[in-house]
């Protein structure tokens, strides 16, 4: 993952992001950028999709049922998960995009080009980046990803040497996917827990 040179203090960058109004006119609840990057010492980066309605309301990323499942997969408690010296959280879309006919709308396309490179420049110590869902995998795996999300996740060993780990989204909506792909919780989750424990020890 290519990182640009940092030119502003991290705290100033996060303040700039939280004041972002790039796509304010398109957001049903208005802008509320959700990002949790507060310490350049962070070693694990989580790139998800976009905040849901509950996260928009609380302002805390992964503060929902998806977050509960993700923390179980990682083998960490809430205190460790929200410790900015350990984890950085940078979604593909920073604001709640609104609801669609079968769930939330896709992340807004403006966020990643505007902010990701500048955030990554502030995180020189990342050892593992979790790419949660198709949008993060499309951006950061590009043509090296497989033909489907399931195949990409199943081929996770192909990416780990680059410090990247593709995951299915931990949403309750994916319960059926998880039940029909038992290899994920049998193989990928234990490997993920081992990786995380090794980095955070």
Per-residue pLDDT at 171: 94
Burial 111-133 (b: 16+ CB within 10 A, else e): bbeebbebbbbbbeebebbbbbb
Per-residue pLDDT at 102: 79
Residues in a beta bridge with 128: 44
Check whether 180 has a pLDDT greater than 60.
yes
Give the burial class of 25: count Cβ atoms within 10 A of its Cβ; 0-12 exposed, 13-18 middle, 19 or more buried: exposed
Could you tell me the pLDDT band of residue 6, with boundaries at 50, 70 and 90?
Answer: low
Mean pLDDT of 56-61: 96
CB atoms within 10 A of CB 58: 12
Mean pLDDT of 64-73: 97
The DSSP element (H or E) to which 137 belongs, if any, is helix 134-141
Per-residue pLDDT at 17: 97
Domains of the chain: 10-200 (3.40.470.10)
Give the percent of the chain with pLDDT over 90.
94
Mean pLDDT of 127-134: 98
Could you tell me the pLDDT band of residue 140, with boundaries at 50, 70 and 90?
Answer: very high
Check whether 83 has a pLDDT greater than 80.
yes
Check whether 5 has a pLDDT greater than 90.
no
Give the burial class of 155: count Cβ atoms within 10 A of its Cβ; 0-12 exposed, 13-18 middle, 19 or more buried: middle
Could you tell me the pLDDT band of residue 193, with boundaries at 50, 70 and 90?
Answer: very high
Mean pLDDT of 147-166: 98
> E strands of the chain, at which residues?
44-47, 87-89, 99-100, 103-104, 128-132, 164-167
| Residue in this structure with the two tokens 């995009």, named with its chain if needed | 97
Check whether 8 has a pLDDT greater than 90.
no
Give the percent of the chain with pLDDT over 70.
97
Q: What is the pLDDT of residues 30-40, one digit of tens each?
A: 999 999 999 99
Check whether 160 has a pLDDT greater than 90.
yes
């Amino acid at each position: 993952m290519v990182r640009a040179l940092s030119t502003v203090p991290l705290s100033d960058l996060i303040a700039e992001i939280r004041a972002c109004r790039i796509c304010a006119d398109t957001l049903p609840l208005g802008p509320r950028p959700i990002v949790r990057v507060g310490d350049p010492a962070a070693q694990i980066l989580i790139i998800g999709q976009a905040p849901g309605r509950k996260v928009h309301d609380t302002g805390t990323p992964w503060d929902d049922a998806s977050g509960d499942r993700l923390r179980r997969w990682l083998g960490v408690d809430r205190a460790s998960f929200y410790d900015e010296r350990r984890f950085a959280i940078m979604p593909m879309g920073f604001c709640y995009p609104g609801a669609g006919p079968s769930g939330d709308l896709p992340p807004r396309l403006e966020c990643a080009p505007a902010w990701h490179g500048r955030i990554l420049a502030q995180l020189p110590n990342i050892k593992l980046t979790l790419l949660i869902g198709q949008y993060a995998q499309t951006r950061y795996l590009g043509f090296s990803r497989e033909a489907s999300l399931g195949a990409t996740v199943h081929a996770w060993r192909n990416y780990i040497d680059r410090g990247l780990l593709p995951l299915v989204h931990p949403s309750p909506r994916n319960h059926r996917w998880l039940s029909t792909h038992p290899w994920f919780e049998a193989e990928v989750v234990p490997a993920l827990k081992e990786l995380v424990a090794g980095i955070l020890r």
